Amino acid sequence: MIDDRTIAILHDLVFRKERDICGIREKYSLSNRQISYAIQKINNLVLHKNETGIILSDKEVLIDKEGERFLQEYLINLEKGNDLFYDKQSRKLFILLKLVCSCDYLSLDDFVYMVHASKSTVLSDVKELRQEFLKDGFQIEYSREKGYYISGNESVIRSMLMQKVIHCLYEDNGETLLQKYIQQEIEQPFEETRKTIVAASHRFSIHFVENKLKEFTYCFHLLTERFIRCSVEDEKLIDIIDCDSKEYKFSEYLAQETAIQSQKNITYIYAWMLGLSMGNIEENTRDQTIIKQLGNRLIHRFEALSGIKFKNHSAIAQQLYEHLRPAYYRLLYKLPIVNPLKKRIKEEYGEMYSLVQEALQPLYPIFQHEVPDDEIAYLTVHFAASTYEEKEQKVYRKRSLILCPSGVGTSIILKRELEELFPDMEFILQDYKKEIVTENVQIVFSTAVSSRLLSINKPFIILSPIMNAKEKYQLISKVYDLLNDEELVDPTIEKVLVTIKKYVTSDQYRMIKKEICQKEKYLSKIVEEEGMRYPLLSEITSESLISLNIEAADWEEAVRKAAQPLIDKEKVTPNYVDDMIKTAKESGPYIVITKHVALPHARPEAGAKEIAISIATLKTPISFGNKENDPVLYIFGLSALDNQTHITAMAELAELLDQQEFYDTLKKAIHPREIMNYIKKFEKECHEI
């Protein structure tokens, strides 16, 4: 049998083409001996079916194309076989699924038979699960009459199960594991449930957010017996049910098709669907007005905090509405949300994440709890994608396809990053659910493994939807190796390569070309650009841009005086400040971003000449028309050149505005130097952390 870790290594080798031994050792915390053992295990398993094995050199793993193809097919077809080994995590998942999804009498022998392990091993697994569940408010119990069963709040039990299943779906081989459980333990065929849900979604025009259809299908199939036999008690999921809504009709139909009779469970499925069904700003639903208002408020607040002015507000609002409506219900009814890219998003878009988190602050009272990190990460992707400007039309020499089921926002970000890495390639985004069209396509980039990839007969690479600098560097090497095309070589080194080619063998030439492309050009291009941080707040303001205790008759005069240093130091033109006033009038009170603080700005084309921030304190507080945050005492005037460069400084400013000590410094400062010193001290402390 082949274990989960070996499968994961094999997955990386043949789909992600991660062949560097150092990288494998680091990723899986293995010794060279352990790596050698894992490769030997794979070879022993598959060599009787294929003559070509995997070879270990000093630095990398070598697999020929025939062997790679065979191993790709082996992994995709693995779910049809019985080679999956149940490690501890798999056993615990199966026991949990059995406890939640089955209403039969369960004995220890049932678990032992299910996971093919000893009684002592299963007892240890059950003990660990008991400890984990205690903190979540439910527990595993046993009695002679009832056997093993799970007790606690029904909604919490369901939510926990959903989160476990969704997390599993995003792990390597996770879906295979769930399919194993379903085939072994659930009488109703999964395919019948899937067809019922798909048919119902077509019938009632339900469009699931991103890849939530798969999540819903697995969770519903696993929970169906619980929906039939158990009901949600003591909780009101919905105060006002819209029986005419498509989500409610979908829920009623699904209940009827699966013999679910409890009205409370129909209501539960209805609430669940509201958190999964994509919003449509054109649909005249009961909640349309409130979701629009929340969306507009969020966009305006994000603009005010980030210093970004979107050109096409209606397009941004429409895209946001699609994601905000289901997010609203997930937050309102505390429905489970899992964002598999959360960690990556927080790492690669940390400043944007902080600004979105801050923009959401005024919405917390509506839900009476904070917005989960997973939800903030989804909205971060939306806003990050929205900040990208339109690219000018150009002629491309290569064409490639991007298949990304992670969502529209993530797809846009991935496309943008690939365009930066391969400027001579045209990238076509394609719906993952539709038939793959590869006419005139040289290579396919996909964020998920699919049997369809093997049938397209085109080179393909599996990659992460959000990449760090190292992954981008490795990707370039993989693409060059796959295409082996002179056209991708930078013109400045092309002549050198032509000369070299005359005097070396083809294998030597390939290695030389690879080294040059990687180390001389692209390593510096990517790693240096990635390493090039955006400026900090202290680097775009100065003592000469700080004005203390200015006097003004009204908010307009206050803004003009606060921004005057930007004109004096030639950071902006006078027209830019005029546009600041115009924008403030259009946006209304949104430029007052928090108590006593205004942040006026305009679009770059209005006259921004250099990125900068002016800081002004007012001698007398002035009302800007914002009931929640007036009067204004401090004005930060932003000059932005684009939608990206100032993001780090704005994220830092948002953090400073949460520090009472910063306000004390602003209020008591006699000289601009005191404010600058505080900002630099804050940055130094953050850097040390």
Residue 157 within any structural domain of the chain: yes
CA distance linking residue 50 with residue 39, whole number of Å: 15
Residue 80 within any structural domain of the chain: no
Instruction: List the single range of 142-146, 482-486, 496-500, 591-595 with lowest mean pLDDT.
Output: 482-486
Beta strands, E only, 50-173: 55-56, 61-62, 138-143, 147-152
Nearest to 463 by CA among 404, 503, 419: 404
- Among candidate residues 278, 308, 336, the one where a domain is terminated: 278
Within this chain, do residues 162 and 192 fall inside the same structural domain, yes or no? no
At 329, which CATH number? Answer: 1.10.1790.10
Mean predicted confidence (pLDDT) in 424-450? 79
CA distance linking residue 485 with residue 439, whole number of Å: 19
Instruction: List the single range of 27-31, 301-305, 529-533, 611-615 with lowest mean pLDDT.
Output: 529-533
- pLDDT, residue 666, reads 95
Which of 330-344, 489-503, 527-541, 623-637 ranks highest by mean pLDDT? 623-637
- pLDDT, residue 310, reads 84
If you ran DSSP here, which 8-state letter would residue 608 be given?
A: B
Question: Which pair of structure tokens corresponds to residue 501?
Answer: 């080619």
Within this chain, do residues 158 and 122 fall inside the same structural domain, yes or no? yes
Within this chain, do residues 44 and 154 fall inside the same structural domain, yes or no? no
Q: What's the order of all strands across the beta sheet hosting 398-403?
A: 425-430, 398-403, 443-446, 460-462
At 494, which CATH number? Answer: 3.40.50
Give rounded-to-5 percent helix, strand, coil for the chain: 60, 10, 30
Within this chain, do residues 560 and 680 fall inside the same structural domain, yes or no? yes
Cβ atoms of 75 and 15 closer than 8 Å: yes
At 592, which CATH number? Answer: 3.40.930.10
Within this chain, do residues 128 and 195 fall inside the same structural domain, yes or no? no
Residue 683 has pLDDT above 70, yes or no: yes
- Among candidate residues 225, 253, 278, the one where a domain is terminated: 278
Within this chain, do residues 162 and 137 fall inside the same structural domain, yes or no? yes
Residue 96 has pLDDT above 50, yes or no: yes
Residues whose CB falls within 8 Å of the CB of residue 513, separated by 6 or more in sequence, listed in order:
480, 489, 497
Mean predicted confidence (pLDDT) in 452-463? 80
Q: 523: pLDDT confidence band, cut at 50, 70 and 90?
A: very low
Residue 207 bears catalytic tag: no
Within this chain, do residues 560 and 588 fall inside the same structural domain, yes or no? yes
Q: Total domain count for the chain?
A: 6
- pLDDT, residue 575, reads 95
CA distance linking residue 632 with residue 105, whole number of Å: 66
- pLDDT, residue 664, reads 94
Residues whose CB falls within 8 Å of the CB of residue 536, separated by 6 or more in sequence, listed in order:
648, 649, 652, 683
Q: 520: pLDDT confidence band, cut at 50, 70 and 90?
A: very low
- Among candidate residues 328, 353, 386, the one where a domain is terminated: 386
- pLDDT, residue 399, reads 84
Question: Which pair of structure tokens corresponds to residue 205?
Answer: 């025009």
Catalytic residue, from 323, 601, 671, 687: name it: 601
Cβ atoms of 11 and 172 closer than 8 Å: yes
Within this chain, do residues 193 and 179 fall inside the same structural domain, yes or no? no
Which of 86-100, 228-242, 574-588, 606-620 ranks highest by mean pLDDT? 606-620
Cβ atoms of 469 and 531 closer than 8 Å: yes
Instruction: List the single range of 93-97, 221-225, 350-354, 394-398 with lowest mean pLDDT.
Output: 394-398
Whole domain around residue 569: which residue ranges? 537-688
Q: What is the mean pLDDT of the chain?
A: 83
pTM across the whole model: 0.75
Within this chain, do residues 8 and 24 fall inside the same structural domain, yes or no? yes
Residue 195 has pLDDT above 90, yes or no: yes
At 133, which CATH number? Answer: 1.10.10.10
- pLDDT, residue 41, reads 76
Residue 336 within any structural domain of the chain: yes
Helix/strand/coil for 16: coil
Residue 60 within any structural domain of the chain: yes
Within this chain, do residues 408 and 443 fall inside the same structural domain, yes or no? yes
Backbone angles phi, psi at 248, to 5 degrees: -70, -40
Within this chain, do residues 591 and 633 fall inside the same structural domain, yes or no? yes
At 24, which CATH number? Answer: 1.10.10
Instruction: List the single range of 5-9, 328-332, 349-353, 569-573 with lowest mean pLDDT.
Output: 5-9
Residue 420 has pLDDT above 80, yes or no: no
CA distance linking residue 107 with residue 491, whole number of Å: 70
Residue 126 within any structural domain of the chain: yes
Residue 392 within any structural domain of the chain: no
- pLDDT, residue 235, reads 56
Within this chain, do residues 174 and 234 fall inside the same structural domain, yes or no? no
Mean predicted confidence (pLDDT) in 250-277? 93
**How do residues 176-185 score in pLDDT, each as one tens digit?**
889 989 999 9
Residue 283 within any structural domain of the chain: no
Cβ atoms of 653 and 613 closer than 8 Å: yes
For the chain, helix (H) and strand (E) counts, in that order, are: 32, 13
Q: 522: pLDDT confidence band, cut at 50, 70 and 90?
A: very low
**How do residues 123-172 score in pLDDT, each as one tens digit?**
999 999 998 888 777 889 999 999 999 998 888 899 999 999 999 988 86
Query: Pairing mode, if any, of strands 592-594 and 546-550?
Result: unpaired
Look at 649 and 494; give whichever has higher pLDDT: 649
Residue 526 has pLDDT above 50, yes or no: no
**How do residues 604-654 score in pLDDT, each as one tens digit?**
899 999 999 999 999 999 999 888 889 999 999 999 888 888 888 998 999
Residue 373 within any structural domain of the chain: yes
